[in-house]
Amino acid sequence: MNLSKYINNLKEYREESFRLLEKEWNPKKELFEKVDENGNYKKFEGDTIVFTLDKSDIEKVSNVQKALYSKLHNLLARPLSMQYFHMTLHDLCNFTTTNDIQGCIEKNKKIIPSIFKKLPKHDVIKMKSIGLYNGGSAIGIMFAPVDEKINTLFNIRKLFDSIIEQKEMYIPHVTLGYYLPHEYSDLERKKLLSVLVNTKVQIEISLKLSKLTYQIFYDMDHYENVYNNQ
Complete DSSP assignment for 166-211: --SPP--EEEEEEBPSSPPPHHHHHHHHHHHHH-----EEEEEGGG
> Which structural domain range is residue 156 located in?
3-228
Backbone phi and psi for residue 219, each to the nearest 5 degrees, phi listed first: -155, 180
Residues recorded for the chain: 230
Question: For 12-22, how does the pLDDT look when each residue is reduced to its tens digit (9 = 90+)?
Answer: 999 999 999 99
Whole-number pLDDT of residue 158:
96
CATH code for the domain in which residue 44 is found: 3.90.1140.10
Q: What is the pTM of this model?
A: 0.96
Q: What is the mean pLDDT of the chain?
A: 96
Number of domains in the chain: 1
pLDDT (average), residues 181-199: 96
pLDDT value of position 230: 80
Mean pLDDT of 148-154: 93
Q: What letter does residue 170 receive in the DSSP assignment?
A: P
Nearest to 10 by CA among 104, 183, 133: 133
What is the rounded CA–CA span in Å between residue 191 and residue 12?
A: 21
Q: Is the pLDDT of residue 130 over 90?
A: yes
Per-residue confidence band for 1, with pLDDT thresholds at 50, 70 and 90: confident
- What distance separates the 2 farthest-apart alpha carbons in the chain? 51
Q: How far apart are CA 82 and CA 64, in angstroms?
A: 11
